[in-house]
Amino acid sequence: MQEFISPQITAIRERYKASLPDKAVMIEEQIEILSSAGAARDLSATHEVLHKLAGSAGMYGYDDISALSRTAMACTVEKKIDLLLAQLAELKSLLEQHA
Amino acid sequence: MNNTVDVIVQQKINEQLFQKLELAYFCVDHSMRVKDASDNLIDYGYEPIRPGSDIEDHIDFMIGLDSHTELDLPIVASPSGIPISVSLLPSENQLTVLIVNASTQADQRQLLQQKANENELLVFQQKKLMVQLEQASLELEKKNMQLEEASRLQTSFLSGVSHEFRTPLTSIIGYTNLVKQDLQKVSQELVPRIVGNDDSPNYLRAVQRSSKHLLSLVENLLDHGKLDSNEIVIRPKATNILEVFEDVELLLKPLSNTKQVELRANIDLPPKALAVLDDSRLRQCLINLVGNAVKFTDIGSVTLDASLTGEVLHVTVEDTGPGISQQDLEKIRLPFWQGSDTGKAGTGLGLTITERLVELMGGELLIKSELGKGTVVEFELPAPLVYLDEPANSLEGIPVKPLRILLAEDDTDIADLVCMMLIERGIEVDRVENGALAVEALKKGRYDLVLMDIHMPIMTGYDALAELNARGDTTPVVVMSASAVDADKAKAIELGCRGYLVKPVDVDDIIGMAGQVLS
């Protein structure tokens, strides 16, 4: 079934797509912060960024970004830093691919 | 009757009685000297008794008895072994002792005693059995509890292990994709120089295939664990069911094309019908059933039939595969059961999960099969309908005037999209960026529904819900959060939210939920 998409919605989607490189940079920043923070790292800011990305990316049809953000969120809760860094790197790549 | 006749009759009666009762007697004076004795005492084994002799020398039961006291002795054995009853009848001058054959009473008494003994034995055995039964019951209960605990531990272990597997697996799949994409960017001639040999792309495909297969097995184990501990919640929402069936057909067509199996889909569903059901769980059930049918059919066809009767969805999956024996039909619903064709087996959980999901959605899975004649699996689900042709504000239960929604969402990406989607469906939307502004807006204006995010600056969605409760504001609130954590949902419900949507959501999710909350 062909879905009708209004020009307004198309414009909003385009704007979101255009913001993906910025979001990739945001993830890159989180990777740098986490890599340099040592044991004193605070994961709440990373969790917040991922939480927003999980919600918004899925709404715009980027299911892979949303799912990966959610998986990475679980790593912040479970404090699995190495795995989290790997997930963030993958997330950054995904964002760049979709941009 | 004269006196002479009287005496004769009395004598006759006496004779009869004497004979019948085998009555013997003797009389003694109060010094226990024998005055008289009947001849038939010898029938009982007594020596002939001479008058004037001491009775205690002849009859041992008389030793120590009082000649003035009337007494019935208990049944005793005579010297010849015959049971006798003895009555002592004193008078002024003498004591008369009557001896009667008591064999019949003794037999009856013995019989009664025997029955009493038997009854006592039965009662004893019954009590013993009851104790044994009680012990067995306790042991059974204990074993049952141990089994339940073992099953819980097994489920918990499987869920834990599966969860641990899932995260690295998603990374493997993701990174493999990246490597594959990188390889696609370089020219084919360079591939062997970069990765070592020509077959590397094939190796990557194998890794991807295996990882995805492993991921699906892990997902099945996780679902099984959740179903076992009743953690799976069915989330019905307005769903285009035709799209669900078309998706399943598209997804499984490539699998059937790799075999000599024709996948047919007879989908008789209205194109614009939205049914309120859990689309992801329905999709999961269909993929399991049609996927199984294709997997186990080597040649022939698999047919997926779907139709609506009123508000009931009928689904049938029929294949021309090898069929299932009656013996195996009883086992296929058991978790982890694998058929004899181990080459095609998975976790043995797909059908178990599907059956439970169908039950949770209000249906029942029926399986008919015969060896060599294929298999038919069918189920029916309640599917309350909503039509896209109708304006959103005329859905059942929603007021006739345009629906007015307050959206509290700090993420502009989400707020812009949700607002536009709702406006295009004829819904009036006001938006605010945090909980405090939502509370203020509700003080000033009247809304049919609030869509509330949880993680917002200044005032969170939780705090806003608490504030609205404190103010007695009854406007229904639907929480829309990226958190799928059950504890977050439970907290929101405890604070009085009327519905909980996990992002990503689309406009149909929101309208479906609005319909449920406002009806």
Q: Which residue has the tokens 């691919």?
A: A97
The stretch A47-54 carries a mean pLDDT of 91
Q: How many CB atoms lie within 10 A of CB B299?
A: 10
| Range 20-39 of A in CB contact (< 8 A) with B | none
Query: In three state form, how does the secondary structure of B8-66 look?
Result: HHHHHHHHHHHHHHCCEEEEEECCCEEEEECHHHHHHCCCCCCCCCEHHHCCHHHCCCC
Contact B110, B128 (CB under 8 A): no
Beta carbons of B503 and B486 less than 8 angstroms apart = no
What mean pLDDT comes out for the span B454-461? 89
Q: Is the per-residue pLDDT at A3 higher than 70? A: no
Cβ neighbours of A12 in B, within 8 Å: 416-417, 420
Q: What percent of chain B has pLDDT over 90?
A: 29
DSSP calls for B146-186: HHHHHHHHHHHHHHHHHHHHHHHHHHHHHHHHHHHHHHHHS
Provide mean pLDDT across the span B462-467.
92
Looking at the complex, report in whole angstroms how far the Cα of residue B482 sits from the nearest Cα belonging to chain A. 5
pLDDT above 90: residue B427: no
pLDDT at residue A1 tops 50 = no
CB-nearest partner of B504 from A6, A55, A93: A55
- Cross-chain residue pair A8–B424, CB shorter than 8 Å: yes
Q: For tokens 């009767």, name the residue.
A: B309
Average pLDDT of the residues in B242-247 = 85
pLDDT of B156 > 80? The answer is no
Per-residue DSSP letter, A40? G
What value does the mean pLDDT take over residues B286-310? 90
- Where are the domains positioned within chain A? 7-98
Average pLDDT, whole number, for chain A?
Answer: 85
**Per residue in B466-509, pLDDT tens?**
999 888 888 999 999 877 777 788 888 888 888 888 888 888 88
Convert the pLDDT of each residue in B355-407 to its tens digit. Answer: 989 998 989 999 999 888 899 999 999 888 765 444 444 444 444 457 889 99
Q: Which residues of A touch B455 (CB under 8 A)?
A: 48, 51-52
Q: Let me know how long chain A is.
A: 99
CA angle centred on B367, ends B364 and B368, rounded to 5° = 140
**Which residues in chain B have their CB less than 8 angstroms from residue A94's CB?**
174
pLDDT for residue B139: 94
Task: Find the helix packing angle between B507-518 and B412-424, rounded to 10°.
Answer: 70
Single-letter code of the amino acid located at A58: G
Fold of B3-101: Beta-Lactamase (3.30.450)
Whole-number pLDDT of residue B33: 94
Is the preceding omega at residue B391 within 30 degrees of 0, hence cis? no
Q: Which residues pair with B302 in a beta bridge?
A: B263, B319
A8 interaction partners in chain B (CB closer than 8 Å): 420, 424
Q: For B13-32, what is each residue's pLDDT tens digit?
A: 877 877 777 889 999 999 99
- Measured CA to CA, the distance from residue B249 to residue B303 in angstroms comes to 10
- What average pLDDT is seen over chain B? 83
CATH number of B237-387: 3.30.565.10
Whether the predicted pLDDT of B247 surpasses 60: yes
User: Residue B84 above 80 pLDDT?
Assistant: yes
Of chain B, the percentage scoring pLDDT greater than 70 comes to 87
Q: What's the pLDDT at B3?
A: 62
What pLDDT shows up at residue B389? 44
Chain A residues close to B178, C-beta within 8 Å: 90, 93
What pLDDT is attached to residue B407? Answer: 94
Average pLDDT estimate for B289-311: 90
- B301 backbone dihedrals φ, ψ, rounded to 5°: -145, 160
- When pLDDT is cut at 50, 70 and 90, the band that residue B519 belongs to is low
Instruction: Suggest the residue from B413, B416, B433 to mutate for an interface test with chain A (most A CBs closer than 10 A).
Output: B413
pLDDT attached to residue B186: 65
Domain ranges of chain B: 3-101, 108-228, 237-387, 392-518
B452 and B465 Cβ atoms separated by less than 8 Å: yes
pLDDT category of residue B331 using cuts at 50, 70 and 90: confident
The whole-number pLDDT of residue B98 equals 92
> Given a cut of 70, is residue B343 above it in pLDDT?
no
CATH code 1.20.120 for A7-98:
yes
For residue B400, the model assigns a pLDDT of: 42
Mean pLDDT of B198-217: 73
Does domain B108-228 correspond to CATH entry 1.10.287? yes
Contact B420 A58 (CB under 8 A): no
Band the pLDDT of A38: cuts 50, 70, 90. Answer: low
pLDDT score recorded for residue B397: 42
**B residues 230-249 near A, CB within 8 Å?**
240, 242-243, 246
Q: What is the pLDDT of residues B110-131, one digit of tens each?
A: 899 999 999 999 999 999 999 9
CATH for B392-518, options being 3.20.20.70, 3.40.1440.60, 3.40.50.970, 3.40.50.2300 = 3.40.50.2300
B190: confidence class by pLDDT, cuts 50, 70, 90: low
Do residues B270 and B232 lie in contact, with contact meaning Cβ atoms separated by under 8 Å? Answer: no
* pLDDT of B430 above 70: yes
Lowest-confidence segment of B11-15, B312-316, B331-335, B407-411 by average pLDDT: B331-335
Which chain A residues are within 8 Å of B271, Cβ to Cβ?
Answer: 1
CB contact under 8 A, A60 and B413: yes
* Cβ–Cβ under 8 Å, residues B289 and B377: yes
The pLDDT assigned to A64 comes to 85
- Give the pLDDT band of residue B462 (cuts 50, 70, 90): very high
CB-nearest partner of B413 from A6, A54, A56: A56
B12, B13, B40: which is closest to B26 by C-alpha? Answer: B40
Over residues B274-289, the mean pLDDT reads 86
Is residue B8 over pLDDT 90?
no
**Rounded to whole angstroms, how far apart are CA atoms B284 and B115?**
71
